[in-house]
Amino acid sequence: DSVDSLNSFPRLTDVRLSGNPVADPVRGGIPRFVLIARLSKVEILNGSEVKPRERKESEIRYVRSVMSKFHNNQEEARRCHPRFYELQSLHGLEDERPSNGAAGPQKMGSGLLTVTLKCVGASFGEKPPLMKKLPA
């Protein structure tokens, strides 16, 4: 892919893909987190600094995305996503399929945590606890 080929330029640290269809998610382009994960040396993307935390979170999200799409086809994953195994090893991410042997799509709620919020401010009066489900 043309994006992955940019990694062959070791001193390329500032890339602006604004206006390029490859970087426009609205037109089917690649989202920012994928660009960050696939471009190992880029420090500035489309004029915005790529901070270490954003890079780490983008790489982890990218690896999980590739794992969910290609969990049964490692050769295809390697061909389409050259940095996948490097990033998987770097972040210590293993295939996260359920160990009970069940295959196929998982329920959306399986990756959610339940959080209970309690209002403790006296000025707000007595309020019942509020339970919310958030992504894990």
pLDDT values of the chain reduced to their tens digit, one per residue, 136 residues: 688 999 999 999 999 988 888 888 777 788 999 999 999 999 999 999 999 999 999 999 999 888 888 877 777 888 888 898 889 888 888 765 544 444 445 565 566 788 888 887 767 677 788 888 877 6
- On whether residue 75 sits in a domain, the answer given is yes
- On whether residue 122 sits in a domain, the answer given is no
- On whether residue 105 sits in a domain, the answer given is no
Task: Indicate the pTM of the whole model.
Answer: 0.66
Q: What number of other Cβ atoms are within 10 A of residue 40's Cβ?
A: 17
Nearest-10 Cα torsion for 102, 108, 112, 116: -130
- Tell me which H or E stretch contains 135: strand 130-135
**Short-list 97, 100, 70, 72, CA closest to 84:** 70
Query: Residue 131's beta-bridge partner residues?
Result: 116
Task: Provide the number of structural domains found in the chain.
Answer: 1
Q: For position 119, what pLDDT does the model report?
A: 80
- On whether residue 57 sits in a domain, the answer given is yes
Q: For position 133, what pLDDT does the model report?
A: 83
- On whether residue 28 sits in a domain, the answer given is yes
- On whether residue 26 sits in a domain, the answer given is yes
- Asked if 60 and 92 touch (Cβ cutoff 8 Å), the reply is no
CA within 13 Å, CB half, 72: 3
- On whether residue 20 sits in a domain, the answer given is yes
Containing structural domain, residue 63: 2-96
Instruction: Show the tokens assigned to 132.
Output: 């919310």
- On whether residue 34 sits in a domain, the answer given is yes
